[in-house]
Amino acid sequence: MPEPGPADADWMLRPPRRMVRRLDRLRQRVPVRVRRTASGTVPLLAFVLLALWVVTRFWLYPDRVSPLHPAQQAAAKQLLDQVAHALVHLHDPFAGLPQVVGGGALVAVPLAPVTLAFGSGVGYALWLTLGLAGSAATAYWALFRHLVGSRMAAFIGALMFGFAPGVLWHANGQPAFVTNLLIPVIVVWTVRLGRGRWLRDGVLLGVLVAAQALVNAELLAITALAGGYAALCYLVQRGSPEPAGFARLWPPRPPSTAAGRSRFAGLAVAVGTGLVLLVYPLLAGLPRQPVPDARLGEDATTIALYWRDTLAGNFTADRSVGGIEQNTWFGWPLLILAGVCLALLWRQSVAVRVVALTALVFGVLGLGAQVRLNGRPTPVPGPWWVLSKVPGLDLIAPSRLALVLVPCLAIVLAVAYDRLPSGEPVAYGLTGRRVWIVFLAVALTPNLPRPLQADPSPAAAPRAMVVSGTVPVPVPAHVRKVG
């Protein structure tokens, strides 16, 4: 009897042949148009189901509160109620908004019918669900249309962008920080400037920027800072082979003079359009999330830990090491995988080099004005102590700059899945694609989200009342009782 060869050593990783044949027959019976539609619909449906899973407790019990940010969740519900009341009574929906909610004025307008019909609790749950699923959906569109050629690669990157541990942290009472569905569209539209239609593209970009400012102006500012630095990094990179989508989006060669003029003209039109649309909201007073502490940033050790709302979450580390905000918490397996991807793709991809340099700079800036290790401050000063003195930057919490690592890591994973795996056998019949899938599953599975924590609403404080019907009057101590 002949000995099994290397091709037969991975029999455990192969699906049964009978199942494969039946699936192929079933696939052939489905029309081509239906298959194409399903290939684009299935990822979106997965994002919606995952968002419902994360917000399931608030859907089942709309009156429950987040134990992490109960005051900010109450402010978000107040925003929904106030905007809905203003629209019904034909008042100004942007006047007198709560300053603690951190944006979301534009989101509360389309959610007004839901708030009026079912209450602010259901509106809050719908806000979180649409924010999480919508952010992942637009990231999937941007990655698949302009960067990678595989739907699975775009799905993996969008999953990291929409449901990263830092995003889940802000989902606990801060829905404006998870409503990032306009960020990928703004980035793509900014890069598309300079194609001749500068007036139309500039106006549309200005509308998108104004809409994002009404959702969360701080995230828009962080995106502008990261995008500007990424553009500088791209300009110093040498041309290298890129996928056709990225080459169409952002050619590796320097643009011509006409394209440069068109791009600057489009940016000028976008700035003017955004300012015109934001004049009244700025005068009325946009709600802004107050900076928790402009000095504190991310703990340098938390990037290798797991956030508590993930499958491998650690509540003990959250209490002992976690600072004011937790925006990284990726876990050490994902960091190792990202490092391997960077090492393999550094010479092949300009996009990977750009996002790696951007993540490095903003990761260091996210440490704040004083570096902390394992929950304790160190005498090492951070770079933010200089930048915090710049007007305007003092309104940004340094720990939130670390959120830039989320899209950077999403791009690295998407490009790596699209370009690294191969069908050639590596050892014992295992192909590079199967090995890559195993490593990716080991790194991403612990970061999958769990349902957000939701505590019962605290009981109202009892009100003191006099049963006898008299009214107690305080009497000064020096007044003697007359008998």
Q: Is residue 481 part of a domain?
A: no
Average pLDDT rounded to a whole number, residues 3-23: 52
Report the range of poorest mean pLDDT among 92-96, 130-134, 175-179, 427-431: 427-431
Q: Calculate the average pLDDT of the chain.
A: 79
pLDDT recorded at residue 238: 54
Average pLDDT rounded to a whole number, residues 71-99: 83
Q: Is residue 478 part of a domain?
A: no
pLDDT recorded at residue 39: 74
Q: Is residue 377 part of a domain?
A: yes
pLDDT recorded at residue 415: 92
Average pLDDT rounded to a whole number, residues 329-352: 88
Write the pLDDT tens digit of every residue in 429-463.
Answer: 666 777 888 888 888 898 888 999 888 877 665 66
pTM for this prediction: 0.83
Write the pLDDT tens digit of every residue in 22-77.
Answer: 666 666 666 666 666 667 788 999 999 999 999 999 999 999 998 888 888 888 89
**What percentage of the chain carries pLDDT values higher than 70?**
73
Report the range of poorest mean pLDDT among 78-82, 97-101, 172-176: 97-101
Write the pLDDT tens digit of every residue in 336-347.
Answer: 999 999 998 888
Write the pLDDT tens digit of every residue in 201-248.
Answer: 899 999 999 999 888 888 998 999 999 999 888 888 754 445 444 444
pLDDT > 90? residue 408: yes
Q: Is residue 458 part of a domain?
A: no
Local confidence band at 304 (pLDDT 50, 70, 90 cut-offs): confident
Q: Is residue 476 part of a domain?
A: no
pLDDT recorded at residue 483: 47
pLDDT recorded at residue 113: 93
Domain membership of residue 301 as a residue range: 27-447
Cα(210)–Cα(106) distance, rounded to whole angstroms?
A: 10
Q: Residue 411, CB half-sphere, CA atoms under 13 Å: how many? A: 23
pLDDT recorded at residue 13: 47
Which phi-psi region, left, alpha or beta, contains residue 174 (left: φ > 0; alpha: ψ -120 to 50)? Answer: beta
Q: Is residue 91 part of a domain?
A: yes
Which has more pLDDT, 407 or 459? Answer: 407
Q: Is residue 453 part of a domain?
A: no
Cα(431)–Cα(418) distance, rounded to whole angstroms?
A: 15
Q: Is residue 470 part of a domain?
A: no
pLDDT recorded at residue 40: 77
The number of distinct structural domains making up the chain is 1
